[in-house]
């Protein structure tokens, strides 16, 4: 297996400290704090470790504080309920003695039922599209040095944008974006693992769609962005080593917050999962802006 992907899988496997307490490490991917998808993915993994014979169908998380990439994260699981078909779990992620994430997750015994779904968008397929790291390398002169590593480092997933990406002078455009995503190598046939990986990657790209109508660029420092919450619903079996289309849109932004939604389709058109996220969007003068908080503080 590709070492970068193998490392991510190991990151999502937590160390069990007590019956309902787990510990996880972090990876520095070039962002100013622990990547939110990592914390949510690890929190889901902690909850999964307390459930048997049931698969996650939804999760809702609130980001409370910025995570410190240099310190381990402790995950405490509350086994809220185990019913005949559903199990509920609450997870608190803790760093430096304070919570950085609250997560609720629900699990269900697999069963058949009524079925319908939204249609997959009619967009270009992944073949022939450039990976995001290739696009970024073509525009290095327009990307601030502190952002280059985040955009150009090798990642566990391929990201191929359907719409053009412009790091130099982003133009105002409708709040819609389509990105093809796939793990960089084949994966074991483990449904829990594939759900964890989808949870991790679902935090990529999503909030940025809320900036498109305003022509803002996070690479230029003109907007400060931070995820406030993240929700994910699983509808069908996930295969992260096959191409998935992440179709995103933003219905509204107001009050220094943006709302983004996503639908994740398999290449043959099945709706695999749905997402929603609200995030902080503060427009600033990059020459005058100073961080209002450090890791471990609130926004």
Integer Cα distance of 116 and 118 in angstroms: 7
Q: What is the mean pLDDT of residues 121-145?
A: 78
Which CATH number do you get for residue 137? 3.10.129.10
Per-residue pLDDT tens digits for 246-259: 999 999 999 999 99
Q: Do residues 154 and 275 both lie within one domain?
A: yes
Q: Which domain holds residue 143?
A: 125-290
Which of 26, 131, 202, 203 is labelled catalytic? Answer: 203
In a domain, 173, yes or no: yes
pLDDT score of 216 more than 90:
no
In a domain, 116, yes or no: no
Q: Do residues 252 and 146 both lie within one domain?
A: yes
Q: What is the mean pLDDT of residues 63-92?
A: 97
In a domain, 181, yes or no: yes
195 labelled catalytic: no
pLDDT score of 292 more than 50:
no
Q: Do residues 252 and 165 both lie within one domain?
A: yes
Which residue, of 110, 133, 164, is where some domain finishes? 110
Residues 75 and 41 sit within 8 Å (Cβ to Cβ)? no
Per-residue pLDDT tens digits for 14-37: 999 999 999 999 988 777 789 999
In a domain, 240, yes or no: yes
Integer Cα distance of 240 and 184 in angstroms: 9
277 labelled catalytic: yes
Helix (H, G, I), strand (E, B) or coil at 43: helix
Which of 227, 253, 263, 274 is labelled catalytic? Answer: 227
Q: Do residues 174 and 264 both lie within one domain?
A: yes
Least confident of 37-41, 56-60, 199-203, 293-297: 293-297
202 labelled catalytic: no
Instruction: Residue 172: count other Cβ atoms within 10 Å of its Cβ.
Output: 11
In a domain, 53, yes or no: yes
pLDDT band at 155 (very low <50, low <70, confident <90, very high): confident
Q: Do residues 134 and 165 both lie within one domain?
A: yes
Number of separate helices (H) and strands (E) present in the chain: 5, 12
Computed over every residue of the chain, the mean pLDDT equals 89
The reported pLDDT for the residue numbered 171 is 83
pLDDT score of 229 more than 70:
yes
Q: Do residues 140 and 15 both lie within one domain?
A: no
Q: What is the mean pLDDT of residues 289-299?
A: 44
Total of domains in the chain: 2
């Amino acid at each position: 297996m590709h070492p970068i992907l193998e490392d991510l899988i190991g990151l999502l496997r937590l160390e069990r400290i007590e019956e309902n307490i787990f510990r996880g490490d972090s990876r520095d991917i070039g962002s100013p704090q622990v990547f939110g998808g990592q914390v949510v993915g690890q929190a889901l993994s902690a909850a999964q470790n307390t459930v048997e014979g049931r698969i996650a169908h939804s999760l809702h998380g609130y980001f409370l504080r910025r995570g410190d990439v240099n310190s381990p994260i402790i995950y405490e699981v509350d086994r809220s309920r185990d019913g005949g078909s559903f199990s509920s779990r609450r997870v608190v992620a803790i760093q430096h003695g304070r919570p950085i994430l609250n997560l609720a997750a629900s699990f269900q015994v697999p069963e058949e039922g009524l079925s319908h779904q939204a249609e997959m968008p009619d967009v270009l397929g992944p073949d022939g599209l450039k990976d995001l790291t290739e696009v970024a390398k073509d525009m290095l002169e327009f990307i601030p040095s502190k952002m280059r590593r985040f955009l150009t480092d090798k990642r566990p997933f391929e990201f191929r944008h359907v719409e053009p990406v412009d790091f130099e002078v982003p133009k105002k455009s409708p709040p819609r974006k389509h990105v093809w995503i796939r793990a960089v190598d084949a994966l074991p046939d483990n449904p829990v693992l594939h759900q964890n990986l989808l949870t991790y990657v679902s935090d990529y790209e999503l909030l940025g769609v809320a900036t498109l109508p305003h022509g803002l660029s996070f690479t230029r420092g003109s907007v400060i962005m931070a995820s406030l919450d993240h929700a994910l619903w699983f509808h069908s079996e996930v295969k992260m080593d096959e191409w998935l289309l992440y179709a995103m849109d933003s219905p509204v932004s107001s009050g220094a917050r943006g709302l983004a939604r996503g639908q994740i389709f398999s290449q043959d058109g099945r709706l695999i999962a749905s997402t929603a996220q609200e995030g902080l969007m503060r427009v600033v003068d990059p020459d005058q802006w100073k961080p209002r908080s450090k890791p471990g503080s609130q926004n």
